[in-house]
Amino acid sequence: MNKFLWPLAGFIILAVFLRIGLDLNPHEVPSPFIGKPAPEFSLPVLGTPGEALDKHFSPRDMRGKVWLLNVWSSWCVSCRAEHPFLVRLAKEGKLPIVGFNYKEVRGDTEIDASKLGAEAERELVQKRARAWLAQRGDPYQLTVLDIDGRVAIDYGVYGVPETYLIDREGIIRVKHIGPLTEDALREKIMPLLEQETRGKP
Amino acid sequence: MIPELGQFALILALAVALVQGALPLAGVQRGNAAWIALAWPAVRAQAFLLTFSFCCLTWAFIDNDFSVVYTASHSNSQLPLPYRIAAVWGGHEGSLLLWALLLSWWSFAVSLFSRQLPETMTARVLGILGLVSVGFLVFILMTSNPFERQLPGLPEGNDLNPLLQDPGLVIHPPLLYMGYVGFSIAYAFAIAALLSGQLDAAWARWSRPWTMVAWIFLTLGIAMGSWWAYYELGWGGWWFWDPVENASFMPWLIGTALIHSLAVTEKRGSFKNWTVMLAIGAFSLSLLGTFLVRSGVLTSVHAFATDPKRGVYILAFLVAVIGSSLLLFAWRAPKVGLGGRFALLSRESLLLTNNVMLAVVCATVLIGTLSPLIASALGKKLSVGAPYFNTVFGALMVPVVFLIGVGPFARWKEASLAGLARLLRWPFFVAVLAAILLPLSLDHWSPLIALGLALAFWIALTATLNFIARVRATRAGRPFLSTLFKQPGAFWGMHLAHLGIAVFIVGVTMVKGYETEKDVKMGPGDTVEVGGYQFGFLGVRETNGPNYLALIGDVEVTKNGKPYRRMTPEKRIYNASGMPMTETAIDSGFLRDLYISLGEPIDRENLNGEWAVRVYHKPFVGWIWIGCLLMALGGLVSICDRRYRVRANAVVITPSATQPAQSA
Amino acid sequence: MIAATPFLRKTLLSVLACCLLAFPFAVQPKEAAPLADDPAAEKRLRSLSEEFRCLVCQNQSIADSNADLAVDLRREIRSMIHEGKSDSDIKDFMVTRYGDFVLYRPPLEGATLLLWFGPGLLFIIALVALRSTLRRRDRTLAAERELSPEEQQKAEALLRAATDTPPKE
């Protein structure tokens, strides 16, 4: 072969990769948790007004069920867009959804959380979370409160909203970043769900 | 109305570019003189039309015409006039128009200054530039029209990103684009030479000054961008190995190899294929940079808003331009002669080695930049950032820098290893010894500091020796100094540029090794000592800027109890976007910079209380940019070489066979 | 880059008017307190977090970014440093959560071998290829020279005159 063809060959390979790259989203970071057990935690559950935060939830409580863990916050704009879809999904009743409220007060740049005491922050978190769910509908079986965002770090959350599909054995099967949509549900979640239901009568 | 005129001019420019790209090339092929002659008026018309179009867009910014989508999203009526003008290239569409505009100006310059060239050669060059222009104009008109209207227009614009509201935006992109676009001239000359089969020393001589000018602009553009990041971003860094930075650095590396290689091709007729390859490479990498910045394939801090349609178009353009050039190269290169003979150790071989190494360094940067993309195409995610590049790039540059010291001593055709070793033994030992001992007298010693200093001293010492040797050989009884200044510009230019690298290395080494930084909480009356200076915080006051609100921290700097000066770091809130910005306060000195950046108030409701303040003492950091300026100056001096100009213009050339080392 | 904090702006605008009038110049000068309690740990935090990529803003390190998550992660790393965790523990903490993507210095493993050793390998290959090319070139030219010394001389002379007439192959 003509050795002067080598640069052309190199360039063609490069161009192929660039073409593939155009269809990929460089911002999407696949979760290393896929196929791994959902990290354990125990977080307070949002209750009715006046109720103390003494009930806790842990992913263990969902063993034997296929469920969605949906990370949200009232200051998150995309969550607002996503919410009606979640409400509809909950009505269909195919999948239980657990709400994971992420840094409700601390994440909000409008509020200086360092000014609030721990107790006042907890109160405010509950008030805001309840108000949001009352106004827009509550698709969640229950909502846990991650006030300081520590547990979210264990799940590798980096942008709200995020949704995890967790199977009967407590293994994370899907992580969806950004608002959950009809398409995402159909393409990413339903196939796995069907496989799960077929697997176990 | 004016935006429509601008768009109309753009469409006309495309029509003219089609003529410029098609007829002269066909004319040369078929021997049609009338078609060939069309190149010149076409270039003039295109430069005029694009200038007009660019002025129309500028007018839309000056006039705050927010019915133009591009203006509305990149400007604001409160924006000061100089920034409104610079905002023209503050976004994707306008900066592409700037590209096309500069290309037309470069083409115009070629048509003016190439009178001594054969007409067919110039016609080919202009034709190729016309084709490149067609690509860009179609791209602008199809996917990125800056004149697009929205009716009804908005009452107010979105504002220019506050990070860009800086003198840096006025200077940096035009310089950088002058460099990128300038390489299109070297490229066009190379393709014209391949087409004609006239790949000879004359070709190298013609394209050399153009390449050098482009390289100077690119050097200045990159340096300016780095300095801008340094003072604007507020954490004291100056180079981040971000994909966009790499996109400008890769053409620079290949451009650097190209100017060295052109010198050999011109003087000795060797490396012709390699030189052509580099000319194609430098421009291809400029185009690749455009693709990386504008297609969204990689994440970067300063990428433009992206659109997949644009990515597909630029990629198609890349494949057309680079693919066809490389194909032409593969077809023509085997027939190109080898040129003058030289020994395995000679000035030629050393320059070629340096060239090959620079190409390897460039390939490394390319692989590092693209590997996240390649990995994700293969289903894996990874990041390649500064820690990787610093390690690998640093290691590869050591031999390159070492050769800078050796090259100028080697004779053309054949050099003796023993002779070189004898000459360079002493500077080598002195450089190493000084580099080991000097840091001992400073704050601390580390192998990397010693290595950096050794390389810098090595270049400085060998350059000095080379000057002395050269003056001794040529003085013929005249005084030393006057002989020194009578040395040809090419010789001076080479050493100035090389010394620039030494100065640059000193800057990098010293600031990495001896920088001190303190993060403190400062309330009014608090002081902190950094690098022998005491910084006393007086408090924060409010001022209104033209389109922002500023909180200015007053910091009184004293040295040994004596007042030195007051520094005023700022925190700004821009009215239109509400975006906060940090404006650092920098006291630049020859041997060190003092750098203060004002963070957030500790208690956000008490602005008279404590603030987070970051204070740096950065020894020799300015040398980084002084070094770059020296490199650019070296390039400038070398193209001003009188002898060289005579050579470039004269038809008859007197051979100067016995001249020793001249230029590189 | 600095993330927009509308809160800061609001406070600044409202509070500024009243509180910026008087400077307490009379305060006794005192040494400013470091922002963090433990400067040594802070230094380690800085050098560690420079190696991690911020996931929100994506092309800044966690050390440089002011994004909320970067602040949280710095806090986590800081507390791990105080717990006496090693650098590799901290790296593992990050990688289990965000994958290799978070590392600015790609780990040395099968897939990245080429990335780490490729440049050095390329360097050696290039130099070896250069050497053999130059040898071959020299042999070719020498053979031509033997064939027709006069022609070669003429070519040399022309070359020196800086016009090029490549010898026939």
| C-alpha dihedral, B183 to B187 to B193 to B199, nearest 10° | 70
- Complex-level ipTM beyond the 0.90 threshold: no
In sign, the C-alpha dihedral spanning B553, B556, B557, B560 is: negative
Cβ atoms of residues B467 and B618 within 8 Å: no
Residue C95 near chain A (CB below 8 Å):
yes
Contacts of B326 in chain A (CB under 8 A): 7-8, 11
Residue appearing with tokens 């700004």: B572
Candidates B297, B318, B573: best to mutate against A (most CBs of A within 10 A) is B297
- CA distance to partner chain B, nearest, from residue C73 (Å): 18
Phi, psi of B590 (to 5 degrees): -70, -35
State pLDDT tens for residues B7-18. 999 999 999 999
State pLDDT tens for residues B441-487. 887 889 999 999 999 999 999 999 998 888 888 877 788 888 888 88
**Rounded Cα–Cα distance for residues C26 and B629 (Å):** 46
Residues A29-199: name the CATH superfamily: Glutaredoxin (3.40.30.10)
Fold observed for domain B1-165:
Four Helix Bundle (Hemerythrin (Met), subunit A) (1.20.120)
Contacts of A159 in chain B (CB under 8 A): none
Cβ atoms of residues C100 and B383 within 8 Å: yes
Nearest CB to C7: which of A30, A111, A149? A111
Of A68-82, A181-195, B280-294, which range is least confident? Answer: A181-195
In sign, the C-alpha dihedral spanning C143, C146, C151, C152 is: positive
Residue B429, number of CB atoms within 10 A of its CB: 11
Confidence of residue B603 (pLDDT cuts 50, 70, 90): confident
Q: Which residue has the higher pLDDT, C62 or B217?
A: B217
**Rounded Cα–Cα distance for residues B194 and B125 (Å):** 11
pLDDT for B68 equals 92
**Rounded Cα–Cα distance for residues B326 and B332 (Å):** 10
pLDDT for C58 equals 60
Q: Which chain B residue lies closest to A29 (C-alpha atoms)?
A: B381
Residue appearing with tokens 């007729």: B269
Residue C130 near chain B (CB below 8 Å):
yes
CB contact under 8 A, A15 and B323: yes
Nearest CA among B436, B444, B452, B445 for reference residue B395: B452
Contacts of A159 in chain C (CB under 8 A): 55-56
**Rounded Cα–Cα distance for residues B280 and B254 (Å):** 10
pLDDT for C1 equals 31
State pLDDT tens for residues B413-423. 877 888 888 88
CB contact under 8 A, A156 and C56: no
**Rounded Cα–Cα distance for residues A158 and A156 (Å):** 6
Distances (CA, A) of C69 to B467, C65, C75: 56, 9, 10
pTM of the model: 0.88
pLDDT for C6 equals 42
pLDDT for C153 equals 67
State pLDDT tens for residues A105-148. 888 877 777 777 888 888 888 889 999 999 988 899 999 999 88
**Rounded Cα–Cα distance for residues B285 and B256 (Å):** 13
**Rounded Cα–Cα distance for residues A97 and A83 (Å):** 12
CB contact under 8 A, C1 and B657: no
pLDDT for B397 equals 94
Average per-residue pLDDT in chain B? 89
Where would I find the beta strands (DSSP E) of chain C?
30-31, 33-34
What is the b/e burial string over B220-253, where b = at least 16 CB atoms within 10 angstroms of the residue's CB?
bbbbbbbbbbbbbbbbbebbbbbbbbbbbbbbbb
Nearest CB to A17: which of B327, B377, B605? B377
Q: Which residue has the higher pLDDT, B26 or B311?
A: B26
Residue C147 near chain B (CB below 8 Å):
no
